[in-house]
Amino acid sequence: MKTASFLILFTACFFCSCAQQPESGYKKIERMVPMRDGTKLFTSIYIPLSNAEKHAFMIERTPYSCAPYGEQNFKRNLGPNPLFEKENYIFVYQDVRGRHMSEGQFKEMTPAIDHKENNKDVDESSDAYDTIDWLLKNIDNNNGKVGIYGISYPGFYATASLPNAHPAIKAVSPQAPVTDEFEGDDAYHRGAFYLMDNFSFLNFFDHPRDAPREENPEVNGDIKIEDAYSFYLKAGAIKNLNNLYFHNQSKIWNEYLEHSTNDAYWQARNIRKHLTNIKPATLVVGGWFDAEDMFGALSTYEAIEKQNPVNDNKIIMGPWTHGGWERKDWSSFETYNFGSNTNAYFQQIELDFFNHYLKDKGEFKTGEATVFVTGSNEWKSFTQWPPKETTTSKWLLNNNHTLLLQNGTVKGLDEYVSDPANPVPYLNRKSSDRLSEYLSADQSFASQRSDVLYFESNILDNDITICGPITADLFVSTSGTDADFIVKVIDVLPNEKHTQQLVRAEVLRGKFRNSFEKPEPLIPNQVTPIKLELNSTAHTFLKGHRIMIQVQSSWFPLVDRNPQQFLNIPTANDSDFKKATIKIYHDEVHPSSIQILQLNK
């Protein structure tokens, strides 16, 4: 949900508004739909002119505006992708509570209330329920079936409709859904604050509101960023950004930084634990290059699987950035070429899913897990995710920058000095905002730095395909009392440049190594085990390539700088940031390794 640049691009390119009626023939009405507590939500409803059949509802609930406003003004595109408009669904768009033209107070990731005691106990499940109840009773010629979909923050609202779902909801597709903002989605990743994303997003999103409004002004319209790395480094300690730019006008920014551990604030906003007794069919969608909510897609699917022994729950993961699957074409990205338009394949699956459950049209035979394997450029279908057709393997870090893909003798250690005044850039190019390309970009610039360690395998004699989560088990020490650890898995291509193509990367803030709720200082110069869970992937390292692992302790300005002292970072002063000597051990007693699931041949 969380980058302004994505939202502007997504709106401009895919869901543009214009004052013309779609060719397929719809009429539009706008209504203020009452919720059980009396709050009214602004709702745009596009109704097919044809009465040849009864129509199902397709609903998207959004905090980003269901514009254009005015019954004479139509969206250029209706539904998740262009195939839907010809299917004569009743398309419904709603401004969620407290956003744009809807009444009420907005809450970031509205906490779910499983057991409601009265009509004042409202959440996104109840708002979806009340909206659907009103639609069924007030929109003629409907067939009594509802589908809900959404990407990013709207993906969260799709997920949130599942607990205590209205019986008319038959199919839900949470796509890149915001799910757990502390552990792995937009706000924090494994306890490390995603600085650049949240500053730019909340400037776009969180201007104070005292009444409904069509437009959402920026918190500070005077912010001008040409080079994000220089901008955030010059700003210094994170608290300075509020003092310099937001001046306490962003409520959510303040909430994020006031809650720098996985406390009750974040736990109340973790939708995963509420995904029980799910009745609608679900199709979870995510992208291997999604810089915002890759974790959300994977963990939403996992939560439904674990907490619902009997379910109709499927997942699709493709080679996409955030929401990229709804573009017209997606055949390549950064250093990757996929060999086909992966979007044409997905968009037909998406249409078949909703048509089957909402219109009893056709069959939906997609496998439990449908994933695109980068590197080999092929779609694969599995009966579960991660696939059962895998074997756990360990890659061992070793001396002389070597990576052992099989058991062997390991020895030694490597060290580097992490300097908060000179953090490792997340990407080797200037930009005004975060670029999604970092998840697939050449990492050669990083391996050349003295504060980045790299470990490289021999040339591969055979293809190696990994499918599933990746775990880094490191043995580390630091001269400070806290440190970040970033681990990257890289495919080294046998081209002239020996491109170091990023496959997967993730960060862990060291003080959260044992608990996200209760941080603990690192003991200076004491060897400490660190376990970092990276998101899943599906990638083939081809014969003739090499595999590389990189380890570093800053990733700026994607992640805020760690002072490398055990303290509350949102209240740290500029003087608190210190250099630290980081050591990574890889001997027989401390065998640092990367655990992967290798797909059997």
DSSP 271-283: GGGG--S--SEEE
Task: Quote the tokens at residue 291.
Answer: 């810089």
Q: What is the pLDDT of residue 13?
A: 39
Give the Cα separation of 157 and 150 in Å (integer). Answer: 7
Report pTM.
0.95
- Sketch the domain layout of the chain as residue ranges: 4-180+269-382, 390-599
pLDDT at residue number 2: 56
Residue 448, pLDDT score: 97
Query: Does the structure show a pLDDT above 70 at 181?
Result: yes
| Token pair belonging to 116 | 């409601």
Sign of CA dihedral 493, 499, 500, 501: negative
| Stretch 401-422: mean pLDDT | 96
Tell me whether strands 452-456 and 500-509 are parallel, antiparallel or unpaired: unpaired
**What's the CATH fold of domain 390-599?**
Jelly Rolls (2.60.120)
Three-class SS string for 360-421? CCCCCCCCCEEEEEECCCEEEEECCCCCCCEEEEEEEECCCCEEECCCCCCCCEEEEEECCC
Mean pLDDT of the chain: 95
pLDDT for 10 beyond 50 = no
Is the pLDDT at 19 greater than 60, yes or no?
no
Residue 601's pLDDT band (cuts 50, 70, 90): confident
Structure tokens at 522: 């690192």
**Cα–Cα distance between 271 and 105 in angstroms, integer?**
20
Strands (E), 35-141: 40-48, 55-62, 74-75, 90-95
- Residue 318: which of 370, 283, 274 has the closest Cα? 370
**Residue 9 confidence (pLDDT) above 70:** no
User: What pLDDT does 21 receive?
Assistant: 53
Measured torsion, CA atoms of residues 114, 274, 179, 382, in degrees rounded to the nearest 10: -150
Q: What angle do CA 327, 332, 337 make, to 5 degrees?
A: 155
Confidence of residue 20 (pLDDT cuts 50, 70, 90): very low
Share of the chain above pLDDT 90, in %: 95
For residue 476 the two structure tokens come to: 């580390």
Residue 1 clears pLDDT 90, i.e. is over it: no
Quick one: average pLDDT of 499-525?
A: 98
Tell me which DSSP letter residue 246 carries: I
pLDDT digits over 193-205, tens only? 999 999 999 999 9
Q: Is the peptide bond before 521 cis (omega within 30 degrees of 0)?
A: no
* Cα torsion angle, 507, 511, 514, 518, sign: negative
Confidence of residue 16 (pLDDT cuts 50, 70, 90): very low
Would the pLDDT of 88 be above 50?
Answer: yes
In CATH terms, 4-180+269-382 corresponds, of 2.40.170.20, 3.40.50.1820, 1.10.760.10, 3.40.50.2300, to: 3.40.50.1820
Q: How much is the average pLDDT of 409-426?
A: 97
Q: How far apart are the first and last CA of the chain?
A: 38
3-class state of residue 450 by DSSP: coil
Give the torsion sign (CA, 85, 286, 310, 127). Answer: negative
Q: What is the pLDDT of residue 14?
A: 39
Q: Identify which of 328, 293, 34 has the alpha carbon closest to the alpha carbon of residue 153.
A: 293
Predicted confidence (pLDDT) per residue in 309-331, tens digit = 999 999 999 999 999 999 999 99
